[in-house]
């Protein structure tokens, strides 16, 4: 089926809806035909079925590379839905994929990621722990070796934390690498290492603080909502946040919200799903209640829910951009936070996103990919699994400890009896149990 022909068939103009009900009723015929629904209408009544439908908006008559890519993506996504009607979660293959990637030598193509050792370890180890393990024998056999992970991470620490954590041996401290390294040590529960380096890390992080309240990624490096979020996560997990640390942070974040409603990396630029997540999660690291004076919550809510595609079911990271599985977390985790802020449940279609992840992004050999035609990788595997967790649980705010930051007060209600993931903290990007253990350890150590 030609792209343009299908587009015209599935997105009629408004006058067709008003003047010819029969024509409007049949507007999804092309999609149903492509999916084989006309041959097997029972699929529509299955619990394991997401029905792609034509976008509500009228198709644009302006054609560009962007519109063509969108049409092409819709085509391959429809084909993928047709080829994968099952919502089966490939547990064994995902566990095996993670284990192999952690233990085998990497192909030569991975040399370009030499500065990302700490990230790759976090992505893979976290993926293993986000998966809900029912097969105890397989999980024991293929579980990551905590000592190996901790020893590798320890080798990337510069000067007991005073130089931050690098992306590999001998590399300079970088805020993102430090974030990933700290999360990896939390996942191994090596709090002894974190105790030893946290004073040095505080000095290093504060040396990267700008007068406007933001934090740089590294000395002479860029400062954006990403680096500021990473600094907040590191300091909060290690219980080293001070009044000096917080000066100007929220005021600077407020400036990064755009006219669209989402957040940019720096004031005055384009709203982006990743930056929006970093900014919104930062407010939950700053506040004990969802009252944000400088945040336009209604506009942010509108922008976030607009990121879900009606046909694909997945999420995009920017206006007029394609669906991408990684935004299942970057945007998919931001939406539960805005649900808490607005005291509203189910602001996005969790089942549609879950359908995209399991029927389109899931790789038959294990791991997850961005979209059909892309390769499976560590990054998309981790954020797809956490995005799946956002679909499988309803996250609410506990009310029993009003003196605690919101980031530590989440309660997760499973939305089905059979879930494939552990409840995941939407602010820290870790299974909730690890966040709780880390918080408890350092609060007890510090006596509060």
Active site residues: 272, 318, 321, 324, 326-327, 370, 377, 380
Q: Measuring CA to CA, how many Å separate 5 from each of 59, 65, 104, 178, 308?
A: 12, 17, 47, 50, 24
- C-alpha closest to that of 348 among 312, 397, 385: 312
Measured CA to CA, the distance from residue 100 to residue 394 in angstroms comes to 32
Measured CA to CA, the distance from residue 126 to residue 137 in angstroms comes to 19
Q: How many CB atoms lie under 10 A from the CB of residue 365? A: 10
| Phi-psi sector, 161: left (phi>0), alpha (psi -120 to 50), beta | left
Angle between helices 146-155 and 117-130 (to 10 degrees): 150
* C-alpha torsion 229→230→233→236, nearest 10: -90
% helix / strand / coil in the chain, to the nearest 5? 55, 5, 40
Q: What is the bridge-based pairing of β-strands 410-414 and 424-425?
A: unpaired
- C-alpha closest to that of 130 among 396, 410, 433: 433
- C-alpha closest to that of 115 among 156, 147, 57, 54: 156
Is 285 within 8 Å of 404 (Cβ atoms)?
no
How far, rounded to the nearest angstrom, does the alpha carbon of residue 39 sit from its chain's CA centroid?
A: 37
Is 342 within 8 Å of 315 (Cβ atoms)?
no
């Amino acid at each position: 089926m030609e792209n343009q022909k299908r587009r015209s068939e599935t997105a009629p103009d408004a006058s067709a809806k008003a003047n010819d009900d029969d024509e409007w009723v049949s507007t999804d015929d092309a999609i149903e035909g492509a999916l084989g629904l006309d041959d097997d209408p029972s699929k529509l009544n299955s619990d394991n079925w997401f029905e792609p439908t034509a976008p509500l908006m009228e198709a644009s008559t302006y054609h560009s590379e962007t519109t063509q890519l969108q049409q092409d993506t819709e085509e391959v996504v429809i084909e993928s839905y047709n080829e994968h009607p099952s919502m089966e979660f490939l547990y064994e293959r995902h566990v095996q994929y993670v284990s192999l990637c952690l233990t085998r030598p990497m192909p030569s193509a991975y040399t370009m990621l030499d500065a990302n050792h700490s990230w790759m370890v976090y992505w893979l180890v976290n993926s293993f722990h986000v998966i809900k393990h029912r097969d105890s024998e397989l999980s024991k056999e293929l579980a990551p070796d905590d000592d190996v992970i901790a020893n590798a991470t320890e080798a990337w620490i510069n000067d007991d934390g005073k130089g931050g954590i690098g992306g590999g041996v001998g590399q300079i401290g970088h805020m993102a690498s430090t974030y990933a390294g700290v999360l990896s040590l939390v996942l191994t529960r090596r709090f002894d290492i974190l105790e030893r380096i946290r004073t040095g890390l505080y000095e290093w992080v504060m040396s990267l603080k700008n007068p406007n309240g933001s934090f740089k990624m590294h000395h002479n490096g860029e400062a954006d909502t990403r680096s500021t979020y990473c600094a907040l996560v590191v300091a909060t997990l290690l219980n080293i946040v001070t009044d000096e640390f917080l000066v100007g942070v929220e005021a600077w974040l407020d400036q990064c919200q755009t006219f669209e409603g989402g957040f940019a990396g720096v004031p005055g630029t384009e709203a982006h799903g990743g930056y929006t997540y970093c900014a919104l999660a930062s407010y939950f690291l700053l506040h004990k209640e969802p009252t944000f004076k400088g945040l336009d919550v209604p506009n942010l809510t509108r922008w976030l829910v607009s990121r879900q595609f009606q046909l694909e079911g997945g999420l995009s990271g920017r206006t007029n951009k394609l669906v991408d599985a990684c935004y299942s977390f970057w945007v998919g985790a931001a939406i539960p936070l805005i649900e808490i802020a607005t005291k509203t449940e189910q602001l996005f279609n969790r089942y549609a996103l879950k359908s995209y992840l399991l029927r389109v992004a899931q790789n038959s050999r294990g791991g997850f990919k961005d979209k059909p035609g892309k390769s499976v990788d560590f990054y998309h595997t981790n954020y797809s699994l956490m995005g799946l967790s956002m679909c499988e649980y309803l996250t609410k705010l506990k009310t029993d400890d009003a003196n605690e930051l919101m980031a530590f007060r989440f309660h997760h209600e499973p939305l089905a009896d059979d879930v494939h993931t552990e409840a995941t903290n939407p602010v820290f990007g870790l299974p909730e149990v690890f966040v709780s253990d880390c918080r408890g350890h350092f609060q007890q150590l510090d006596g509060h």
